[in-house]
Amino acid sequence: MTDLAQPVVPARPRGDGIVAYLTTTDHKQIGMLYLGSGLLFFLLAGALALLMRAELSTPGLQFLDEATYNQLFTMHGTGMIFFFASPVALGFANYLIPLQIGAPDVAFPRLNALTYWLFLMGGLIAFSGFLTISGAAAFGWTGYVPLSDGTYSPGPGPNLWIVGLILSGTSGILGAVNFLATVFTMRAPGMTMFRVPIFTWNMLVVSMLIVLTFPVLTSALVMLLIDRTTGAGFFDPAAGGSPILWQHLFWFFGHPEVYILALPFFGIVTETIPVFSGKRLFGYRPMVFATLLIGALSFSVWAHHMFTTGSVSNLFFAITSMAIAIPTGVKFFNWIATMWRGRLRFPSPMLFSIGFLLMFLIGGITGPFLASPPIDYHVQDTYYVVAHMHYVLFGGSVLAAFAGFYFWIPKMTGRMLDERLGHVHFWGLMVGMNLTFFPMHFLGLSGMPRRVADYSGPEWWTPVNLLISLGAVLVALSVLAFVTNIVINVLMGRGREAGDDPWGGYSLEWATTSPPPHHNFTRLPPIRSERPVWDARQADRGVSGEAKARKPGSGGSDG
């Protein structure tokens, strides 16, 4: 790499022992703690899903009672949304944002450590409800009142759920403030806003969404806790309160939360697709503006979850909800245009990225149907909603998260993951998730309600439910392949050495060692576009990166 400039502070030894992790303020170690913990919560919440699918494989109650089943689906949703998808996004952000903008760490490293520990305590407290006599929370991850009030959900389990979510919400707010400050104030010289990598741009918008919406949820949870512990009546009509108030507060957080869970993963595939297409990202600036527009619109769609209450303007929320398809469509167009006529390679990160495109598209197409009030009235609280949500969050976020793991684990650990196991993982997951979630559309359209431990309906529901349960087992087996891959190649250190840049990456994290030193960089390449490492590589080959990027048909935009 030529023309390296700006010597940075020399590296300091890091240490990898348990005490080092317990006391770390290094964004990379904190990021890995987030990712590891998120994966453990994924396995835990996934195990709960397997129990549910085992129960539903045939009609009638097999080995769970209704109360236990209610706890399982509540903690499955809570675990996946609050303690897997969010922290994994925050984990990647922790690890990558300082690296991608050429900074030595985040703006507030100690605060960063506090956010991780608060998140972990929140997760442990929320799940500790299973250890109480009355069991864990059992009112769904949305916590609707009056179901979640002291009358219908007595006992400490729901309170633990509330306290756990308050802690994790506080963690999210502090983390978002940290990311905003980092991106705005710690970019390396030359890293203007329109040279910031898309993943970091997406996390910037996500951080803003978190800062504006998590306090609303946290406040609502505090109000609910006060209702439950002191008998106050924020959500009790008899005391002058309103259950609809909870729904407004929850979904004012809850729908931006969908994009808080999606945008980071949009960012991940936007990083991987150009690298494995051998091209510059098509339409960098439109991608940034599409992200901003999605973030902005996500503020005005919350009550499409409340069409059937009859208390909201269905027209307003239908229009704004459908409008989100426009910037999302821009992103899809750009991803496909980036691949168009590219020199495509298909290692595991690219497979998962393409899987994300296909699966998220299904979730995206079923979304506007739910945004249409007449259809929403028909399929409200049916398996159609479950199918849509899982194509968005599993087909979208989870597949892209795995793309991120395969892409950046070599950078984080210095070890490559095994490609054969990666392919087994990918194909198992693709077949398994489609067996699991696609038939749910038909169950929902025919009226099968969600969140029930038993069902009775047309005869064809029984074999379809069995098929869904078998699909879930296949998903679990494929995840086992991923865990095996991590254990053998990373934890046991048998993976081949990654080198600094195993994929031919574009952004700054590929300009440093794998894993990076404590201060991240000993040197930085000059930053003249959104892909400085690619520019430096071209300069090494005697080609001007700028000139190459501006060639007709390169799909480039101004850096």
Partner 1 sequence: MAEELRFFLRTALYSAAIGIIYWFASYDAVHGAYDWIGTVMLAAAGLASGAVVVVMALFARRALEGAPGASTLGVVARWLGFTDPGGPAGQQPLAAGLEPLPRRSAWPLVSSLAVALIGLGIVFGPWLLLPGIVLLAGSVWGWVTQLQVPR
Q: List 5's β-bridge partners, or say none.
A: 524
Residues 6+ apart with CB under 8 A from 329: none
Residue range at the interface with partner 1 (CB under 8 A); choices 1-9, 371-379, 390-398, 426-434: 1-9
Contact map string, positions 169 to 188, toward partner 1, x by CB under 8 A: -----------x---xxxxx
Tokens of 484: 């095996």
Kindly state the number of chain residues that form the binding site for partner 1, as judged by CB under 8 A: 68
Which of 196, 453 has the CB closer to partner 1?
A: 196
Which of 201, 384 has the CB closer to partner 1?
A: 201
Helix residue ranges per DSSP H, 446-501: 461-486
Q: List 10's β-bridge partners, or say none.
A: none
Does 111 engage in binding with partner 1 (CB under 8 A)? yes
Q: Rule CB under 8 A: choose which of 81, 89, 137, 160 binds partner 1.
A: 160
Q: What is the distance of C-alpha 285 from the center of its chain?
A: 23
CA angle 351, 353, 357 (to 5 degrees): 115
Give helix 243-277 / helix 325-339 axis angle, nearest 10°: 10
For 192, other C-beta atoms within 10 Å of its C-beta total 12
Does 208 engage in binding with partner 1 (CB under 8 A)? yes
Which of 226, 543 has the CB closer to partner 1?
A: 226
Which of 177, 477 has the CB closer to partner 1?
A: 177
Q: Rule CB under 8 A: choose which of 302, 352, 360, 510 binds partner 1.
A: 302
- Residue 356 contacts residue 399 (beta carbons within 8 Å): yes
Give helix 399-413 / helix 419-445 axis angle, nearest 10°: 160
Which of 29, 489 has the CB closer to partner 1?
A: 29
Which of 146, 215 has the CB closer to partner 1?
A: 215
Which of 55, 149 has the CB closer to partner 1?
A: 149
Among positive and negative, which fits the CA dihedral 338, 340, 346, 351? positive
Q: Rule CB under 8 A: choose which of 2, 3, 16, 23 binds partner 1.
A: 23
Site for partner 1 in 390-429 (CB under 8 A): none
Q: List 541's β-bridge partners, or say none.
A: none
Residues 6+ apart with CB under 8 A from 315: none
- Residue 417 contacts residue 347 (beta carbons within 8 Å): no
Radius of gyration of the chain (CA): 23
- Residue 511 contacts residue 525 (beta carbons within 8 Å): yes
Q: Report the distance separating Cα 125 and Cα 120, nearest Å.
A: 9
DSSP letters of 374-396?
Answer: HHHHHHTTBHHHHHHHHHHIIII
Does 258 engage in binding with partner 1 (CB under 8 A)? no
Residues 6+ apart with CB under 8 A from 241: 227, 233, 234, 235
Does 230 engage in binding with partner 1 (CB under 8 A)? no
Site for partner 1 in 303-342 (CB under 8 A): 303, 311-313, 315-316
Query: Which amino acid, 502?
Result: P
Q: Report the distance separating Cα 207 and Cα 179, nearest Å.
A: 7
Q: Report in angstroms how near the CB of residue 166 gets to partner 1 at its nearest.
A: 7
Helix, strand, coil distribution of the chain in percent, nearest 5: 70, 0, 30
Contact map string, positions 113 to 152, toward partner 1, x by CB under 8 A: xx-xxx-xx--xx---------------------------
Q: Report in angstroms how near the CB of residue 82 gets to partner 1 at its nearest.
A: 15
Q: Rule CB under 8 A: choose which of 86, 87, 105, 537 binds partner 1.
A: 105
Which of 109, 278 has the CB closer to partner 1?
A: 109
Does 245 engage in binding with partner 1 (CB under 8 A)? yes
Does 470 engage in binding with partner 1 (CB under 8 A)? no
Which of 249, 498 has the CB closer to partner 1?
A: 249
SS3 category, 524: strand
Does 518 engage in binding with partner 1 (CB under 8 A)? yes
Does 41 engage in binding with partner 1 (CB under 8 A)? no
Does 509 engage in binding with partner 1 (CB under 8 A)? no
Does 167 engage in binding with partner 1 (CB under 8 A)? yes
Does 212 engage in binding with partner 1 (CB under 8 A)? yes
The contact set with partner 1 (CB under 8 A) reads 6, 8-9, 12, 20, 22-26, 102-105, 109-111, 113-114, 116-118, 120-121, 124-125, 156, 159-160, 163-164, 166-167, 180, 184-189, 191-193, 208, 212, 216, 225, 229, 244-245, 248-249, 252, 296, 299-300, 302-303, 311-313, 315-316, 518-521, 524
